Amino acid sequence: MALSKSGSRVALVTGGIGGIGTEICLQLAQVGRTVIAVDLATRSDRIEAFRERTAACNGAIRFEPCDVGDFKACGDLITHVERNIGQVDILVNAAGITRDTSLRKMDPQQWHELIRVNLDGVFNTCRHVVDGMVTRQFGRIVNLSSVNGQTGQFGQTNYSAAKAGVHGFSMALARETARKGVTVNTVSPGYCDTPMVAAVPQEIREQIISDIPVGRLGTPGDIARAVVFLTADEADYITGANLPVNGGYFMSF
Ligand SMILES: NC(=O)c1ccc[n+]([C@@H]2O[C@H](COP(=O)([O-])OP(=O)(O)OC[C@H]3O[C@@H](n4cnc5c(N)ncnc54)[C@H](O)[C@@H]3O)[C@@H](O)[C@H]2O)c1
């Protein structure tokens, strides 16, 4: 069994200082994981706020800078973590951006920037952890998709394509690793009360809430609980699945 030097499994969370990522880090630390929050080095004010928010975790959570869109940087990060902290047993890809506009106005830069983070980022991190997980016969990978990858959304051809792609990627990798003790799943949040959704105009936000059967936006904690569930050692018979956490906003099977 691959354990960190402190004896607990190491979990790497990209987008780790974001609205949902921070809560995932906190909840994984609560269940005994050694957590590495990975995010852009440029967000110094938010990195400081993250450090303050996680200070009570007694060093179980630390921050490492990395641009997930950079393949080599992801490789260097994994090497650094595995040398200095421990083998990565749990990978959660929560880094994500939006570049919303209708396709008729979308320029190639808005397409490529989004795909680079939301889809290439998943490849870049998974590619660098998968060999170690397969060799050690244990791994838990959870990739954050979105309800808008399932339904499509106006102004989000880039985002919806990337998020649908994330689930296709996860199902394919799940098949490649199923006999090696490595599970790969997606969690698809609905609309959550985070900065990403706060940026949506007030009237559209109210319309969205009225369409959610549970009657409220999701919280980062709602999403983090699903991630903790799927990354448990015991969750070894769930792979290639998508777990929607959307308050009933989109139901399917
Ligand atoms: N908030 C929602 O309602 C919602 C709904 C569905 C899906 N999601 C998905 O959940 C995930 C987390 O969303 P959130 O609401 O916490 O967003 P957020 O913007 O609060 O967090 C995203 C984080 O990703 C980081 N990031 C961006 N580019 C990066 C890069 N190149 N390298 C490393 N880190 C980078 C950002 O700095 C930020 O901290 C995203 O993948 C998002 O698409 C969110």
Query: Could you read off the pLDDT of 95-114 as tens digits, one per residue?
Result: 999 999 999 999 999 999 99
Tell the residue number behind the tokens 């959704």, with chain if given: 197
Decide: pTM greater than 0.85.
Answer: yes
Using alpha carbons only, what angle is made at residue 195 by residues 68 and 101, rounded to the nearest 5 degrees? 75
What are the extents of the domains in the chain? 10-244
CA of 117 to the centre of ligand 1 (A): 10
Q: Is 149 in the pocket of ligand 1 (CB under 6 A)?
A: no
Tens digits of residue pLDDT in 115-156: 999 999 999 999 999 999 999 999 999 999 999 999 999 999
Q: Burial letters for 8-30: b for 16+ Cβ neighbours within 10 Å, e otherwise?
A: bbbbbbbbbbbbbbbbbbbbbbe
Q: Is 94 in the pocket of ligand 1 (CB under 6 A)?
A: yes
Mutate to test the pocket of ligand 1, among 13, 20, 148, 243 (most ligand atoms within 8 A of CB): 20
Q: Is 247 in the pocket of ligand 1 (CB under 6 A)?
A: no
Reply yes or no on whether 159 is catalytic.
yes
- The DSSP letter of residue 103 is T
CA of 1 to the centre of ligand 1 (A): 31
Mutate to test the pocket of ligand 1, among 14, 25, 97 (most ligand atoms within 8 A of CB): 97
Measuring CA to CA, which residue among 107, 119, 220 is closest to residue 169? 119
Determine which helix (DSSP H) or strand (DSSP E) holds 36, and give its type and residue range: strand 34-39
Question: 3-state class of 12 per DSSP?
Answer: strand
Tens digits of residue pLDDT in 44-90: 999 999 999 999 998 999 999 999 999 999 999 999 999 999 999 99
Q: Is 23 in the pocket of ligand 1 (CB under 6 A)?
A: no
Q: At what angle do helices 121-136 and 157-177 cross, to 10 degrees?
A: 10
Using alpha carbons only, what angle is made at residue 46 by residues 44 and 48, rounded to the nearest 5 degrees? 70
Which residue, judged by its Cα, is nearest atom 32 of ligand 1?
A: 67
What six digits make up the tokens of 58? 């007694």
Mutate to test the pocket of ligand 1, among 196, 204, 243 (most ligand atoms within 8 A of CB): 196
CA of 94 to the centre of ligand 1 (A): 6
Determine which helix (DSSP H) or strand (DSSP E) holds 171, and give its type and residue range: helix 157-177
Query: Tell me, what's the pLDDT at 7?
Result: 56
Can you tell me the distance from the alpha carbon of 220 to that of 194, in angstroms, rounded to the nearest whole number? 7
Give the lowest-confidence range in 129-133, 184-188, 204-208, 227-231: 204-208
Domain 10-244 has CATH 3.30.420.310: no
Which residue, judged by its Cα, is nearest atom 38 of ligand 1?
A: 18
Collect contacts of 228-231 with beta carbons under 8 A, ≥24 apart: 228/24, 228/27, 228/28, 228/31, 230/140, 230/142, 230/183, 230/185, 230/187, 231/11, 231/28, 231/33, 231/90, 231/92, 231/140, 231/142
Measuring CA to CA, which residue among 125, 132, 60, 61 is closest to residue 96? 125
Q: Backbone dihedral region of 196: left (phi > 0), alpha (psi from -120 to 50 degrees) or beta?
A: alpha
